[in-house]
Structure 1
Amino acid sequence: MEHHINGIALPNEAGFFGEFGGQFIPPHLKEAMDEINTAYEEIRHTAEFQNELNDLFKNYVGRPSPLFYAKRLSEQLGGAQIYLKREDLNHTGAHKINHCLGEALLAKYMGKSKVIAETGAGQHGVALATACALVGIPCEIHMGQVDIEKEHPNVVKMKILGAKLVSVTQGTATLKDAVDSAFEEYLKDPKNYIYAIGSVVGPHPFPKMVRDFQSIIGNEIKTQANERFGQHPDYVVACVGGGSNAIGAFTAFLNTPEVKLVGVEPAGHGLDTDKHSATLTLGKPGQIHGMACYVLEDEKGEPLPVHSIASGLDYPGVGPQHSYLKELGRVQYETATDQECLDAFMTLSRVEEIVPALESSHAVAWALREAPKLDKNIKIVVNLSGRGDKDSDYVAEKIGL
């Protein structure tokens, strides 16, 4: 499926979404990225690749993931009806498995000898370790030491699944530094290694490729919403860090203007502090990790240290397609603070007995805040991008349970 908005290809042949995206990388790395793009374009349309991927989605991941009506929560809030797209029920516990299977299969078809990746909250790492074990390719995951300490359950899972885990201690020892470290390793042998980027970020073709694999989310929402209540949702809401789960949920609706699309960024300790990751809200166009996108940066043009209670959203850049959709005004980008996120985590856990990831809790927080203001006939679909097992100990300690 080719992707357009207002008749404009997303992305164009050079990998740009408007002025965002592209390949801001050294020539030898551009060669490797172009090789990945060529292989992807050749392979993705073949029956063999599609059949293998679709079989894994159905019989391994458990797709389609359910669209759950949060009846008790909707009644308690007294406004719009809230539905949850249950990506948390996927095998490995989040949406990340959708593109990890695609990337691992691509690596296998290209004959690569090692898959390298970064991870923040560990969901991409777990999903990629799983996918690589499944197709029989060695996997190396780079993770910031701060996140290793915070996301212990996922660290253990990655090791059990046979991945080599590299602890990154430089810089702030979080997601941006893990990306830097993984890129360094990849550059040692781009011919035989493949860097499986964990979101819709980085140089072309990764923003396009990850988007394509994740677009199954929105396609399912569209079908399920029409089956459940005979219309499109009025709102589709998702958290945004790099932005893969959000692009996955939004893509099917980009040319359906009556569906409002809302991306929720981390306001952290507050937008008036330096402890947030609200890139689209407070950043400006720049470059990071081989792409042009909105960036939170200092006066020298260096990426700022950023903060979110959710390790997977702790990133000073954002997907180039999100940057373009902001400029077009097609997606409304909002924020939720750490405290709102914690409150949403506990509310969903106590009211619907669903424990969400801290990342996804940002989208839930927006729904809790906005649903009471809307008519009860309005339908909000929140992409519940991951489950909160990995965060439960951290949250319990944080709130003194």
Structure 2
Amino acid sequence: MKHPYAFGGQFMPEILMTPIQTLSRNWNAMRNQVDFNQELDFLLKNYAGRPTPLTEVKNFAEVIDGPRIFLKREDLLHTGAHKINNALGQCLFAKRLGIKRIIAETGAGQHGVATATACAYLGLECVVYMGTKDIVRQKPNVNKMEILGAIIVPVTQGSATLKDAVNEALRDWSANYETSHYCLGSALGPYPYPLMVRTFQSVISLEIKEQIKTYTDRTPDLLVACLGGGSNAIGFFHHYIPVESVKLVGVEAGGLGVKSGHHAARFSGGSPGVFHGAYSYLLQDAEGQVLPTHSISAGLDYPSVGPDHAILHDSGRATYTDVIDKDALEAFHLLSRVEGIIPALESSHALAYV
């Protein structure tokens, strides 16, 4: 299927074009600097706790009568999720530019915690926008952000979830871009954000390519990741995209079922459109108005998806499906009870697919 625009781009109001173009220039100038990458590698290893283990879950595989299954344990990173990879990268980038104030948005709270953590370590001010609906369902992470010194700004507009937090964060950045950096938490938004986030998260698949050799001399047959905005999935897929023998599957939030209208399945329930500065797949009505989303997991509750995934979808390189809340919960409880590993509700969608 062909679309009128290439996926991605910079579809921004005039007030944000100067900030995003300035960001692009600065990123292109710094991304390959040896000292920047060496410092980031040091932080990832000695502060965040990389590399993370690759754990075979034999009990889980036996119960479901499945193949050999391995989990990439990003939950064992400092702050408990993959979000710290990107937060450290972007905050270090900003600090090297002389910026002292970081703006972030968060849904599940993990990106907010990771950004607040990076800011505390690097001596930066941190302001986190979060929908009031997410503040209620993610109270422990809100408490962590406040302990770390972040300022939490509740967002009541719209559905009071992640998309509305992004709107308010962008509004703040447009007014304060000369002194602030917007640390976008997923591989979406206008260029260069998808590239920045993919770069920082690609360490996940880079490690897997070496770690899998401990268990087998084969490449994996299948990589499965949950899919919200798409940062963990693109980092997980990145170094395997050229390896055609490896099947890539992204699992979206099926909510109460796509036919119910209460879901966040952008590929099966949406169509290409512009949202938050990028052209990608989007849940929208016939007039192009953004539709509400639903998921049991706050981190998957977003109406659009990163443009890299739109490209992988339309090229046929990756397959995208969805899992309903009920099945994700069943997978959550099963892994917890047979492996002693409590997964995130987001990751439980990928487990349910297996």
The TM-score bracket by the shorter chain reads over 0.9
Letter of the aligned partner of 1:289 in structure 2? H
**Per-residue displacement from partner, 1:23-47 (whole Å, max 9, x unpaired)?**
0113342222122122222222222
CA distance in 2, matches of 1:158, 1:226: 38
Letter of the aligned partner of 1:130 in structure 2? T
Q: Could you tell me how far 1:342 is from its partner in structure 2?
A: 0.7
CA distance in 2, matches of 1:209, 1:228: 31
Q: Could you tell me how far 1:113 is from its partner in structure 2?
A: 2.9
Q: Match of 1:397? A: none
Q: Match of 1:189? A: 176
Pairing 1:356–2:339 present: no
Selected match of 1:249 from 231, 236, 256 = 236
CA distance in 2, matches of 1:299, 1:178: 25
Q: Match of 1:216? A: 203
Letter of the aligned partner of 1:140 in structure 2? V
CA distance in 2, matches of 1:303, 1:193: 28
Q: Match of 1:341? A: 328
Deviates more, 1:260-269 or 1:25-34: 25-34
Pairing 1:271–2:258 present: yes
Q: Match of 2:306? A: 319
CA distance in 2, matches of 1:176, 1:226: 40
Give the CA RMSD over aligned residues: 1.4
**Per-residue displacement from partner, 1:137-158 (whole Å, max 9, x unpaired)?**
1010000111100011100000
Q: How many residue pairs are counted as aligned between the two chains? A: 352
CA distance in 1, matches of 2:249, 2:336: 23
Q: Match of 1:101? A: 88
Pairing 1:79–2:66 present: yes
What fraction of aligned residue pairs are identical, expressed as a percent? Answer: 51
Displacement over 4 Å in runs of 4+? none
Q: Match of 1:154? A: 141
Pairing 1:207–2:212 present: no
CA distance in 2, matches of 1:294, 1:79: 32
**Per-residue displacement from partner, 1:242-292 (whole Å, max 9, x unpaired)?**
000000000001110100000000000011111100012221010000110
Pairing 1:259–2:218 present: no
Higher relative contact order (CA 8 A, sep 6+): 1
Pairing 1:145–2:132 present: yes
Pairing 1:61–2:65 present: no
Gaps of 5+ in 2: none
Pairing 1:20–2:11 present: no
Q: Could you tell me how far 1:238 is from its partner in structure 2?
A: 0.3
**TM score, norm. by length of structure 2:** 0.97
Selected match of 1:92 from 79, 82, 95 = 79
Gaps of 5+ in 1: 1-17, 368-401
Q: Secondary structure at the match of 1:118?
A: strand
CA distance in 2, matches of 1:226, 1:41: 34
Q: Match of 1:30? A: 17
Q: Match of 1:179? A: 166
**TM score, norm. by length of structure 1:** 0.86
